[in-house]
Structure 1
Amino acid sequence: MAPIPPADLRLPADVTADVVDRRTGIFDHGPAAANLALPWWNRTLTDAGLGRFVVTADPNGTAEVQLTRGSLFKLADTIGPDADDDAYLNLLWHVLAWGSGPRIRNNRRRIAAFIDPAHARANVALLRQSVEHARSGNTADSYRTLVRPGRASIPYLGPSFFTKYLYFAGNGAASHACVILDARVATRLHHAGWRSLPPRRMNWYTDTYVAYCELLARWADELSTSATPVAPDQIERALFGNSA
């Protein structure tokens, strides 16, 4: 059975204290160029025959010096029903770079999933489908599209990273249902009282992800006032920062 949070689970006070302003704490949040492995990304993409892509801290050409959530929200404007596959891949490389920071992790293997043209088409089709579901508010199908029992639908693109992609596909809308879930956030929630949620596990059930998004939406609503609305991603950022 998928782990579901207790119905009466409350937002911990220390997390509440760390909820940031959405403009400065969300849209302006991201690593500076020096804290991104940009030379590695561009060298590795070129070596894989994907040199048409350039990963940068300024993907929108607006003179940014850090890769922020806001710049990724704007980059997500380039994907949609009429966009070509490269738009989806360009967003993917930048989301992975943002999430990885200076670390390489499994990114070489993730890139490898898009080298063969047939595999690339199939995998981008999964990204397209998941984004369509996410933007329509169908959190379950958006997540389910990219996960299989015991593995990811796209090799090495597991929930900790593909939920980032689904989140940024919302273009920064406060009402967007999909929120980032990674091991740090899961560990924090486990210590906060969601004991059935395995700490550090990164292949969560679809129902667990849906319940997580609904929990953060409830907590955001409880914190919101008419003068100061709170969005679920502000809770996610606070949970990440407070992680044990």
Structure 2
Amino acid sequence: MPIAANTPLPSYVSGFLPGEETVMGQSIQVDASRWQKALADRGLPSLEGILASPGLRHVSRRVVFELGARDITPENAFQLLYYSLAWGLGKRARKFNKRLDGLAEDQENTAKLLTEAWTAVRSGEPAEVVYSTLTTSRGKARIPQFGPAFSTKFLYFAQGPDIPPRYVILDKVVAGSLHEAWPGAPKAGWYPDAYGRYCSFISRWADLATEEINGARKVRADEIEFTLFTRK
């Protein structure tokens, strides 16, 4: 069933608007040493920044967003990918080795797809178009083991920190929290048009939230995503 675009803003969202600082500060603990060894073992480009140091490190949304402001190059695209993956996977890093095996399978093609996706984001293409650079029309990953949920994380962070996000993270937790507006929502493998409708829907709820606080500030779309993800 498609998402019901006219669903009113629920009180569990309007009553909990975290604000930009809380969203940007959301931090995840990452085992940098594990990442460094795994990348070296596969001949993948090495890490830069805080994850180039050994031990446990904290990666926030802000840190990853800053990578999205860099020049679009294959080298920078790999760094943005690593950090968006590390932030999404956390310390436990489910299916960590399989995911990195997928990235290493064809590094040239991985770099090509990532730079194409980043360029589409920078150009402000429609959400379904930017999503389609990393995901097929049937919701399958174009980069092995780098599925739709992580594709949306890469697209989200590729926007950089200087503009309100148009492309928003979608994963099984967020989809499951939208059961009133999107009953029976798939938990993975979203088609491009579904992702496009989702981004439009979240932006609409952000606009409604802005109205509810009488325009005191502009509510960001990722505040809505954050609220859905942390919903109890």
Structure 2 unpaired stretches of 5+: none
**Is this contact kept in 1: 2:139–2:191, CA < 8 A?**
no
**Is this contact kept in 1: 2:9–2:208, CA < 8 A?**
no
1:163 to 152, 167, 171: 152
Q: Which residue of 2 aligns with 1:210?
A: 196
Q: CA RMSD in A?
A: 2.1
Which shifted more, 172-181 or 155-164? Answer: 172-181
Distance 2:225 2:103 in 1: 30
- The normalised TM-score by structure 1 is 0.84
2:40 to 43, 46, 49: 46
SS of 1:36's partner is: strand
Percent identity between matched residues is 31
Shift of 1:41: 0.9
1:21 to 19, 22, 34: 19
Q: Answer yes or no: is 1:193 the counterpart of 2:191.
A: no
CA deviations on 1:188-231 (whole Å, 9 max, x unpaired) are 002x3311423xx2100111100010001111111114321101
**Is this contact kept in 1: 2:139–2:148, CA < 8 A?**
no
CA deviations on 1:70-104 (whole Å, 9 max, x unpaired) are 11111222242xx2x12111111111111111122
Distance 2:52 2:217 in 1: 30
**Is this contact kept in 1: 2:69–2:160, CA < 8 A?**
yes
Q: Which amino acid aligns with 1:52?
A: S
C-alpha change, 1:150 and 1:194, in structure 2 (3 Å) is closer
Shift of 1:151: 2.3
**Is this contact kept in 2: 1:174–1:231, CA < 8 A?**
no
Distance 2:78 2:67 in 1: 11
- The normalised TM-score by structure 2 is 0.88
**Is this contact kept in 2: 1:9–1:194, CA < 8 A?**
no
Q: Answer yes or no: is 1:177 the counterpart of 2:169.
A: no
Q: Which residue of 1 aligns with 2:62?
A: 70
C-alpha change, 1:174 and 1:150, in structure 2 (3 Å) is closer
Q: Which amino acid aligns with 2:36?
A: N
